[in-house]
Structure 1
Amino acid sequence: MKLYFSLLLTAGLLASCTTVATKRTPMKPAATTAAAGKKPKAVGGLTTGKPPEQIESETLSVPATPTADVLGQLKSLVNQAVQAPSKADQESYRLKAIDIVENKLNEDQLEDVADESDFGFLRGHAMFRLGEISLDKKDTSDAKMYFNSVTEFVPGSDLALRAQEIILQLDSAKNVKSQTVGVVLPLSGRNAPVGQRALRGLEMGLGLHIPGSGFQLAVMDSEGNPDSARRGVERLVKEDNVIAIVGSLLSKTAPAVAAKSDELGVPTIALSQRSGLTEVGPTVFRNSLTSGMQVRALVRTAMEDMGMKKFAVLYPNDPYGIEFTNIFWDEVLARGGEITAVQTYSVKETDFRLVVQRLVGTYFGEARQDEFNMRLKELQSSGKKHSVRQSNLENVLPPITDFDAIFIPDSARAMGQISAMLSYNDVRGVKLLGTNLWNTKDIAKRAGNFAQNLVFVDSMTPANQDRSRFVNEYRSLYNEPPSLIEIQAYDAGLILRQLIAAGASSREELVQKLGQLNKFPGSLGSLSINAEREIERPVTALTIEKGEVIPLKVRK
């Protein structure tokens, strides 16, 4: 039975190592959103002991209110809403009755209310609620029937106007232009440059740069605002009749695009890395190099190919660092590895001296007092000349490096500052593991003494870029190489273009075909959909050799 030990790690709280006498116990960072009912997690490298026995609680049986009682109460409220002596009392009874209909009745009870004339004004509310339930079940035919009944039963009311709006949405959802694709991107504001790059890639994926491609692209600017993004989806569906929507890029707007698209039954391919995005609904897909894809490839390379077992984690206390650290922690434990040390730092940190000392156990001198006294005595009685640094009391204790590698989910710049402090604190013989943020031209220079000990992952490698027809074509059009943003947008457009050309002329057919995507030839390699509707992108382990980024060659 897998145990989980959930610990809250704040920015200033320090962690480290299996040697309790020298370093503090490593603690996993709290996730940004806690999953309800998640099991406590075991700390890597520490024995959790016997699992605590589960105490079975007695199930309390709460008698359900008989249908007749609820419906009888509703009839009474309807009568009181008409007969009460004051307008205020009448309104109070009316609102109570509506609340019961909207929140406390099951489907059979709602049918009874909708069908019986004794329920008066509540019948329209019951019909509307039945329509909502049908929409949740994706039964648009029954939903439309119920909403039409509302408009006939209470014409001109606010409820009827709401029902009419939904009917218009359902009608527009049936009008589909199979070769028109919509996109929602940030095309104004500070994120406009990123949105424009994605738009370039998508246009090329749909073949719009080729005369006679037959496809059209309807573009909406999200302005980096969820409400604007949501309205953009509605316009794309109602006015442009798009068959699918690509977007959004930003974690702030991606849930709004996904939720509204799914509500309207339109397949969407998100380009955002926002966690849990495809859980929004069955029409939501994602084409992005996610944190999970990167970490799985990185840990697999480290443990299976390179034989590593023990890891330290040094991460920034921000959403990116916390998300990657949690996934890395889970993946290492799942493969039988250990997390022996972990340390967080502020995103504003520029001097990593104390951060590194905490990680390697030289900061907590009181926990190694006997060792400190012995080494200090040896240093003072040796009679040898020492450098100023070697004579400094801070440097008496050697670092504890009971790990094979340090995972640093941060930028190349931060890694460079950290590597300098690792060298200064005599940390040797360990690898530094990172994400695709390290895949930069100046990574070797930044890594310093650790340049030959980096392992990181990315979809983009020198080899697959040289072989990519899209990359070369993009260079010829825009006189610069594409980034991963353009590449992922291009692949999204290419997938839609080819599936539609192969006969997916309705939204339902397109959802089905997207769910069956397997070994699709993308711009950098094969693409396949997984069970979570994530398009698995090719991920390659990279390292540095002679100052250049190259694929890692594992010597077994």
Structure 2
Amino acid sequence: MEVVRPHAGRALAALEEAVMRALILALATCAALLAASGCPRGPTEPTLPVVTTDDPEAEAALREAREASEAGDLETADTRYRAFLERYPGDPLVPVAKLGLGRVLLAAGDPGAARGLFAEVATHEDARLAERGRFYEGVALQLLGESEAAIERLRPLVGRTVDPEETALLLRTLGAAAEQLERRAEAVEVYDRLAAASVDAAARDEARARLDALIAELERDELDALLESLPRDGVAWPAVGRRALRAAFEAGELGRVRTIAEALSEARVPLERELQSMALRAQRTGRTDLGAIGAILPLSGRGREVGQNALQGLMLGAGLPLDGPPDGDTPRVFFRDGAGDPERAAQAVDDLVTLHQVVAILGPIDGRSARAAARRAEELGVPLLTLTPDPRIVDEGPMVFRLFPAPSDEARELVAEARRRGVTRIAALVPEHGYGATMREAFRVATEEAGLEWAGAAGYAADATSFREPLEELKRLRFDGLVLPDHARKLVLLAPALAAADLWSHDGEAPVPDGARPVRLLIPSVGLDGQLVRSAGRYLQGALFSQPFHGPSATGPGRRFADAFRDRYERPADVFAAAAFDGFRLVRGVVDAGAQSRAEVAERLQQSAGAETASAVRGFRPDRQPYRGTRVLELRGPMLSPTLGDAD
């Protein structure tokens, strides 16, 4: 009969062959089969015969069958066992003969027929003989592919075998069954026992090989479970510990790395250099230098200009000299170039925490890098003050803060100020790209929340330079407030086009040309640069601008920062410089007030609403969003001035 090979994969097929080899070897064990006192048995059980016969001819016939089996002559052994069963069907040695015939059938590759014989023996009244029947029935079940049933039969016998060959057969079979069921941790426990058992060297080497292969495939939860269940003086525990340490490090669970490293050290398990480095970095992560703050900024690539501005604002906030080393009392700032790359940003968090033990980190600026860094910062438990406008960034966890205003923040502030100026209906003229769609929705929501009427929107192509058709569509709407969410270079074209279409920016006081419709313009922060007012200011009188920081109109802390920045760097500060300056000062403020850990820094930052800042942020709300986020300025003549609610 052809044996069905249930195992997929060369490794398991080879293991099944090993089970078969062990089975053939086991045919020679327990020399006095008549005694039926071999394995399995407990260490203190008697070895006297438990099944005997009064018929010397039956005894001799069974002995001849056994001798053929021990000699490896399976065909002769099969014939003699069958002859015995046919000639002596009522003899007390019949179950012994069935057991012997079943083992011959197993070795010959017929586990189906063998199983039936073992099942009969398993019901014998003699407990030890019945146990031997269950043992070999379990082996047959595994060779038939019934791994779950095989484990059920064989697991109770672990530790009860005495003969080395049968011990190897038992553990090899259990290991193969566990692997077949993809219960890798269970297989590791079995092979760990086999590798330490008093069996032949080939069986131990085979167990070690399977352990190496299985441990390399284990998932983190399996590794953690085995670290608790395996004996530390076994073969597998050190390998599992090394693998678990690496997996925990790669997952960013540095607290777990420290725990595993301590356990390995206590057990005197040597670590290769790379694992020693991981353990050291994890150990350092548990420490915090309250005088060290990190930053992740785009210092190369497309965003390097804003990254340099933020870095200069940060250095001004820290009081770092332009040249030379700082004095001993100056806070330490460590920065990394994120280069707009999410992977580099996440790695930068690792470096800043593990190498420099910073108490908090500022940045990154772009959304993708900020999200990657936020996830890593959350894993490492370090506060991250991002410079991204994405309001969802704080969803990454309680260690993540946002310094920049979101589209919704700007929309609410501009709509609130427009409402104070008497605006009742708001429309939008938006570019047809992602930012335009985001701002249109933000203003629609803010308008309705303020109890005003949303009049609708008209759109234009992102690369448009002529706006006749969208302006005709816009004029069909009834509105007295108009949102223009586009860059300043586009507003230079839009502002005169609006005036030509008789949509006149109005400050509420000055007369408008005959036939023109007075409109209050609402312009988010991207719409203002140093050239807009000079180029198109006459068409933008009375326009309301959202600006998180605007140096020329700043007062109070903002004015002091703007002056200090210009004195130091001989150029005006921008919003990125102001935000980095504020972020540093907010962190230093809570540290100076007594925060003793990263967790305390994060907790106190959530209670910092109303703090003095250069930008509009004014600290953080308990939800880790900026307390204010932006200010509203009004253009009158050539000057932008804070509205009444935004005067410091």
- TM-score category by the smaller chain? 0.5 to 0.7
Whether contact under 8 Å (2:359, 2:598) holds in the other structure is yes
Say yes or no: does 1:311 pair with 2:404: no
Whether contact under 8 Å (1:312, 1:341) holds in the other structure is yes
3-state DSSP class of the match of 1:402? coil
3-state DSSP class of the match of 2:427? strand
How has the CA–CA distance of structure 1 residues 96 and 445 changed in structure 2, closer, same or farther, with 3 Å as cutoff?
A: farther
Paired position in structure 2 for 1:267 = 383
How has the CA–CA distance of structure 1 residues 112 and 200 changed in structure 2, closer, same or farther, with 3 Å as cutoff?
A: closer
Whether contact under 8 Å (2:621, 2:627) holds in the other structure is yes
Whether contact under 8 Å (1:430, 1:453) holds in the other structure is no
How has the CA–CA distance of structure 1 residues 173 and 337 changed in structure 2, closer, same or farther, with 3 Å as cutoff?
A: same
How has the CA–CA distance of structure 1 residues 526 and 240 changed in structure 2, closer, same or farther, with 3 Å as cutoff?
A: closer
Paired position in structure 1 for 2:98 = none
Say yes or no: does 1:517 pair with 2:619: no
**Amino acid in structure 1 at the alignment position of 2:549:** M
3-state DSSP class of the match of 2:546? strand
Choose 439-448 or 474-483, whichever is displaced more.
439-448
CA-CA distance at 1:205 after TM superposition:
0.8
1:208 is aligned, of 312, 320, 325, to 320
Whether contact under 8 Å (1:207, 1:213) holds in the other structure is no
Paired position in structure 2 for 1:179 = 291
Paired position in structure 1 for 2:175 = 82
| Deviation string, structure 1 residues 220-265 (Cα, Å, up to 9, x no partner) | 1112211122222211112122221111122231112222122111
Say yes or no: does 1:294 pair with 2:385: no
Q: What is the alpha-carbon distance in structure 2 between the residues aligned to residue 295 and residue 401 of structure 1?
A: 20
Whether contact under 8 Å (1:114, 1:124) holds in the other structure is no
Q: What is the alpha-carbon distance in structure 1 between the residues aligned to residue 602 and residue 548 of structure 2?
A: 25
How has the CA–CA distance of structure 1 residues 460 and 475 changed in structure 2, closer, same or farther, with 3 Å as cutoff?
A: same
Say yes or no: does 1:437 pair with 2:499: no
How has the CA–CA distance of structure 1 residues 176 and 112 changed in structure 2, closer, same or farther, with 3 Å as cutoff?
A: closer
3-state DSSP class of the match of 1:456? strand
| Deviation string, structure 1 residues 19-74 (Cα, Å, up to 9, x no partner) | xxxxxxxxxxxxxxxxxxxxxxxxxxxxxxxxxxxxxxxxxxxxxxxxxxxxx899
3-state DSSP class of the match of 2:554? helix
Paired position in structure 2 for 1:192 = 304
Paired position in structure 1 for 2:554 = 464
CA-CA distance at 1:402 after TM superposition:
0.9
Paired position in structure 2 for 1:3 = none
Paired position in structure 2 for 1:418 = 494
3-state DSSP class of the match of 1:508? helix
CA-CA distance at 1:128 after TM superposition:
5.5
1:250 is aligned, of 366, 374, 383, to 366
3-state DSSP class of the match of 1:433? strand
**Amino acid in structure 2 at the alignment position of 1:252:** R
Whether contact under 8 Å (1:245, 1:267) holds in the other structure is yes
CA-CA distance at 1:483 after TM superposition:
0.8
| Deviation string, structure 1 residues 332-376 (Cα, Å, up to 9, x no partner) | 22223232221233221221112222333xxxxxxxxxxxxxxxx
Q: What is the alpha-carbon distance in structure 2 between the residues aligned to residue 241 and residue 164 of structure 1?
A: 18
| Deviation string, structure 1 residues 478-520 (Cα, Å, up to 9, x no partner) | 1112111111111111122232223323222212221221322
**Amino acid in structure 2 at the alignment position of 1:536:** Y
Q: What is the alpha-carbon distance in structure 1 between the residues aligned to residue 267 and residue 545 of structure 2?
A: 64
Let me know the Cα RMSD of the aligned residues. Answer: 4.4
Q: What is the alpha-carbon distance in structure 2 between the residues aligned to residue 411 and residue 177 of structure 1?
A: 42
Paired position in structure 1 for 2:632 = 541
Gap runs ≥5 in structure 2: 1-147, 156-170, 188-213, 504-516
Q: What is the alpha-carbon distance in structure 2 between the residues aligned to residue 228 and residue 81 of structure 1?
A: 46
Paired position in structure 2 for 1:53 = none
1:527 is aligned, of 618, 621, 630, to 618
| Deviation string, structure 1 residues 437-464 (Cα, Å, up to 9, x no partner) | 3333443455466422422221335442
**Amino acid in structure 2 at the alignment position of 1:510:** V
CA-CA distance at 1:317 after TM superposition:
2.7
3-state DSSP class of the match of 1:550? strand
CA-CA distance at 1:293 after TM superposition:
2.2
| Deviation string, structure 1 residues 83-125 (Cα, Å, up to 9, x no partner) | 269xxx759664999999959x9x9xx86995488xx989959
3-state DSSP class of the match of 1:293? helix
Q: What is the alpha-carbon distance in structure 2 between the residues aligned to residue 532 and residue 154 of structure 1?
A: 46
3-state DSSP class of the match of 2:422? coil
| Deviation string, structure 1 residues 266-297 (Cα, Å, up to 9, x no partner) | 11111122341111111111222332321111
How has the CA–CA distance of structure 1 residues 177 and 339 changed in structure 2, closer, same or farther, with 3 Å as cutoff?
A: same
Q: Normalising by structure 1, what TM-score?
A: 0.66
**Amino acid in structure 2 at the alignment position of 1:439:** L
How has the CA–CA distance of structure 1 residues 531 and 278 changed in structure 2, closer, same or farther, with 3 Å as cutoff?
A: same
Whether contact under 8 Å (1:445, 1:451) holds in the other structure is no
**Amino acid in structure 1 at the alignment position of 2:376:** K
How has the CA–CA distance of structure 1 residues 512 and 216 changed in structure 2, closer, same or farther, with 3 Å as cutoff?
A: same
1:350 is aligned, of 439, 457, 465, to 465
**How many residues are aligned here?**
431
Q: What is the alpha-carbon distance in structure 2 between the residues aligned to residue 526 and residue 552 of structure 1?
A: 17
Q: What is the alpha-carbon distance in structure 1 between the residues aligned to residue 305 and residue 217 of structure 2?
A: 50
| Deviation string, structure 1 residues 387-417 (Cα, Å, up to 9, x no partner) | xxxxxxxxxxxxx231121211111232332
3-state DSSP class of the match of 1:482? coil
Q: What is the alpha-carbon distance in structure 1 between the residues aligned to residue 468 and residue 287 of structure 2?
A: 62
Say yes or no: does 1:477 pair with 2:568: yes
3-state DSSP class of the match of 2:478? coil
Paired position in structure 2 for 1:330 = 445
Q: Percent identity among equivalent residues?
A: 25
Q: What is the alpha-carbon distance in structure 2 between the residues aligned to residue 79 and residue 307 of structure 1?
A: 85
